[in-house]
Structure 1
């Protein structure tokens, strides 16, 4: 991301993480709806969701308390926060077949007199619950909450909406590798009746139907991460129904599938770790005592096993990777790296549960921990404990000799695999794995080869944006975003007609708005409140300092005069670190951990 003048980091700044993984987007809608589409006000042909839904379009929305637990009673009252359940056709291609689904929505009511309509928000995923995002946006961006009714929702298949659980049968003799287990999950999910209706295409029809039920002729939209893919699909299908649209942390929406977005992620994560986290630890030698050379810090990490063996894979997966999504937690990530190095130097034969308890206690004891950082550590520890328990349960022998059946939540894979055809060549994924081992060795151990989507044939594709009718959108992107690569967002900005992009230089967080600098937020408010887009296609803003720092340090690529960043997916620092690791693995014995 990019900004101009550094300002003190906002104490309450938080990020909406959209579970994020690896690839995304666009093409031509293949299936034909069962009812003729209606003409939009812009002259383009658009589906009429009210006509398609028939009697369902006459339903009355009944608002009731949300009980989300994420806002106080006072905030809930001030926002007039309420929730409701909307009934939608299960299949928008055959909406009169008698089958329906439930979609849960939330709403805050504009607090000012100058109401500008609804702002539908989505946190990403795919499969992220969005009910809590409405009050978050209204509170974090008060000018938004003043002028808009902010609408959140759990997409079909997710959360408090009709849930998708796939029934999967495993045979312990056949499904005895990770790849075979993945294939069993794909087969079970594809055999589950509801699965084929849990797609982005179906969700954008739900969104438009909700717009109509709320009595709005047009919709405003704010989407994060996968939510930018969702928003682009909506705008490509219903361009005449879009008023203003902000796409924050942008997927590669000019690609025909989500694959490119996910394919870029291993490199962006390696990049952020080496380009920003290692220098951060080196600048704070007084705290961590690991020296002032970032490459020397990386060498200590790799000597302790890195993400290959020992405590590193566990700490990286549960405590470090999440912090790379939100630079507010860099102090936690740095302390976790330091703990892994200590673990190698002072291993004491503890169990994983004991190590987790010890690591959590030491991370929470870090001086100056903010409430949000403490919450991050506690949540990560809780998820790690759950992961250890689940792993122990999976290790138990099945009650029956070989075969057992589970219901699993696989919505993340269901959506990203069904939104466009991923590469199905085993040779391609083997070559990709070899490339990761060479160019992204930090993340390579975590990347499934092949992914579930390689076994998932689909004919779905996003409609291509119409150059004449596609709305002009505002895009926000951080330079070192680990989930939606800057490279993908930049390509998307050049692809979407009339798009404007604000880049935040030297920022690594995933999810920009609100950023609490005038360079970023004033431009977002000018667009959302007054419809004013930046004059230039690209605008550069400077990052705010990292925690416990007062200056912004140059990392990654160089800022260009026209507001873009010239960056490398595999940077020089990454290449140097990778060569160092390769040399270590060849010449030095690896860490030895007692059984």
Structure 2
């Protein structure tokens, strides 16, 4: 229990200070100074933002369902956290430039520092997206750190984080329990072919243009859409910093959260404390070029240079071919309709090595389905194909693997049926996460607006990434948006800041060339670089290189060298037979902690627009 009390759970009888009196005292002091002539000049117009800065934040008991899920284990942890865990709703202006237009509300969760006498400030987490709710994700990571073992050097540092920081998560504007955005209309989406063989036709490009226009119209009909942007979210974060009584913002941002962190640093460089940018988007460019322009080649590079060689090295397990050429031929030789569905699956499985075996198993599933469909009488009857699939043998030597691949093949057949045989058109309707992703991509930075130029851009991407570039076709709404609604800050304010970057070599969501370019322009920054890994969202990584460096940085000790290179975890079948376990485990219950960390990491995966 000593470790629990030092970390996540509330010690019996302990009282933690409340922020509301502190805020009220600050407001009273400001009023007194103004009355005595110490505030603004009486001839100056009133500051329309002052009511937001002086609001009294009511920290109350959190409703356990505010994170969207509930379980007996969650309720237990929630109850034991006691008064340290509190929630609040912060009022912010819808339009920071014109606060008279009304308000939005930002939902915030705070786990107060376990050791108030050692408290160093508040640490804000953002899991990226854009469009991901930060409440559940932050709480999941904190639950994992609560399992830290105080007898382990790394575990002890993680407990220090929980002891010395107030850990803060929020639903960024537009998401979660905050004021939400949703884009929808009655019009129906038109089908789009994203296969490498058939995407570049006038009819297909016209359908993509139609869908993009309708998505943009659906979003822009919502009056809050122009104000769902990174500039507004960064200002919301600074408002929260002020209301928490903090001089500096300490921050850990993942993926899009690095873009948000960089934007905050560009606006408020003097208020940046410890800032970790994990899996970084190139802030020197546009989101269209930096994200959509970089992801296809990164996905192709991962397939060609890491996972195909892995399959060839272990041909007796994967049965995809003994050489890289043989493995690639299975993918490129698929019938285009099957290939399109496979590539979509590979995209979603390309964010971390835990899915490597499933990634290659999905190729086996698509290959088997492709053979089966060729042998099925035409026109294809889905029921006949499904019955044949039950008897198809994918791996005669391994019954468990055979069953797993068959399950993936059945899912591909289901998608094939709904996409090609019995398509059911749906409304132009984006869920909250997709709506926010669209709004931020289109509001933040310029996009290609000319349809001919846009198609030419996809063709240029396809030269480097023939399988994955056509997947960009559905992301066309920004062409009809009317341009960005905010101005991105420049890099100059970031150059003196001691930011800490993390990047894996084969990251497919925030591609490494873009991350390299961003990092190279910030001479005071430091970076942890992980070789031979494609983990998107590295911290905590579960090693003796990444985790100590990042945790030490958050506790005040920066790396001495500009870049630290760490070796990535081997893929499962490349793992040494007897991997040496640490003498003292980092977590008291490693299995439970690793499950929580895996849940946290999977929650970082970017939302996808519906094609």
Match of 1:201 among 206, 227, 231: 231
- 2:337–2:416: 8 Å Cα contact kept in structure 1? no
Q: How far did 1:299 drift?
A: 0.4
Give, in angstroms, the shift of residue 550 of structure 1. Answer: 1.3
Aligned pairs for 1:460-479 (under 5 A) are 460-467=486-493, 471-479=497-505
The residue correspondences of 1:296-335 to structure 2 (distance < 5 A) are 296-305=326-335, 308-310=336-338, 312-318=339-345, 320-335=346-361
Q: Which residue of 1 aligns with 2:185?
A: 168
Over 3 Å counting, the alpha-carbon distance change for 1:406 and 1:338 in structure 2 is: closer
Q: Are residue 158 (structure 1) and residue 175 (structure 2) matched?
A: yes
User: Is the Cα contact below 8 Å between 1:482 and 1:510 reproduced in 2?
Assistant: yes
Tell me: CA distance 1:254–1:437, structure 2 relative to 1, closer, same or farther (3 Å). Answer: closer
Distance in 2, matches of 1:239 and 1:201, equals 14
Residue in 2 that maps onto 1:104: 107
Distance 1:203 1:459, change over 3 A: closer
TM-score (norm 1): 0.73
Identify the match of residue 177 of structure 1 among 196, 207, 212.
Answer: 207
Pick from 95, 101, 117 the counterpart of residue 99 of structure 2.
95
* Cα offset, 1:121, TM superposition: 0.7
Secondary structure (helix, strand or coil) at the match of 2:120 reads: coil
Match of 1:452 in 2: 477
In terms of mean alpha carbon deviation, does 221-230 or 114-123 score higher? 114-123
Question: 2:60 maps to which residue?
Answer: 62
Q: How far apart in 2 are the matches of 1:357 and 1:462? A: 55
- Per the TM alignment, residue 303 of structure 1 is displaced from its structure 2 partner at its CA by 1.8
1:440 has 2:465 as partner: yes
Which position in structure 1 is the counterpart of 2:424?
A: 395
Matches within 5 A, 1:117-128: 117-128=121-132
* Partner Cα separation in structure 1 for residue 574 and residue 494 of structure 2: 47
Residue of 552, 567, 570 corresponding to 1:542: 567
Runs of 4+ residues deviating >6 angstroms: 171-176, 356-359, 361-369, 377-394
C-alpha distance in 1, partners of 2:382/2:135?
38
Residue 143 of structure 2 corresponds to residue 139 of structure 1: yes
1:44 aligns with none
Q: Structure 1 355/139 Cα, relative in aligned 2: closer, same or farther at 3 Å?
A: farther
CA distance in 2, matches of 1:147, 1:192: 42
Distance in 1, Cα, partners of 2:512 & 2:388: 36
- Name the structure 1 match of 2:521: 495
Q: Greater CA radius of gyration, 1 or 2?
A: 2
Higher helix share: 2
- Pair 280,171 (structure 1): closer, same or farther in 2 beyond 3 Å: closer
Question: Residues 51 and 458 of structure 1: is their aligned pair in 2 closer, same or farther, counting only changes over 3 Å?
Answer: closer
Q: In 2, Cα distance between the equivalents of 1:137 and 1:492?
A: 27
- State whether residues 332 and 363 of structure 1, in contact with CA within 8 Å, keep that contact through their aligned partners in structure 2: no
Aligned length: 487
Give the structure 2 partner of residue 18 of structure 1. Answer: none
Contact map agreement 1:236 1:470 (CA 8 A) in 2 = no
1:192 to 1:135, Cα distance in 2 relative to 1, 3 A: closer
Shift of 1:63: 3.4
Moved more, 121-130 or 171-180: 171-180
Q: Is the 8 A contact 2:253 2:261 kept in 1?
A: yes
What SS does the aligned partner of 1:91 have?
A: coil
Contact 1:235 1:470 in 2 (8 A): no
Distance change (3 Å), C-alpha of 1:303 and 1:55? closer
- Conserved 8 A contact 2:297-2:465: yes
Say if 1:429 and 1:489 are closer, same or farther in 2 by CA, change over 3 A: same
Q: Secondary structure at the match of 2:167?
A: strand
Rounded to whole Å, the distance in 2 between the matches of 1:272 and 1:261 is 16
Which 5+ residue runs of structure 1 have no aligned equivalent? 1-47, 399-403, 553-595
Equivalent residue, structure 2, for 1:74: 76
C-alpha distance in structure 2 between counterparts of 1:387 and 1:85, whole Å: 45
Farther off after superposition, 471-480 or 202-211: 202-211
CA distance in 2, matches of 1:462, 1:275: 35
Deviations 1:251-284 (A, max 9, x none): 0112255532321111001111111111121122
Matched, 1:516 2:542: yes
> Unpaired runs of 5+ in structure 2?
1-45, 149-157, 191-202, 578-611
Deviations along 1:112-167, whole A, 9 cap, x unmatched? Answer: 45332211111111111111121233234451334322211111111221111224
Equivalents in 2 of 1:132, 1:87: separation in Å?
Answer: 21
SS of the aligned residue for 1:131 comes to helix
Cα displacement string for residues 296-349 of structure 1 (whole angstroms, at most 9, x for unaligned residues):
1110222223xx322x3224323x222210111111111111111111223355
Q: 2:583 maps to what in 1? A: none
Where do residues 510-589 of structure 1 align in structure 2 (5 Å cutoff)? 510-529=536-555, 531-550=556-575
Taking a change above 3 Å as real, the CA distance of residues 522 and 103 of structure 1, as seen in their structure-2 partners, is same
**Partners of 1:278 and 1:216 in 2: how far apart?**
49
Q: Larger deviation: 106-115 or 205-214? A: 106-115
3-state secondary structure, aligned to 1:157: coil
RMSD across aligned C-alpha pairs, in angstroms? 3.9
Higher relative contact order by CA 8 Å / sep ≥ 6: 1 or 2? Answer: 1
Q: Quick check: 1:294 aligned with 2:324?
A: yes
* 1:244 paired to 2:274: yes
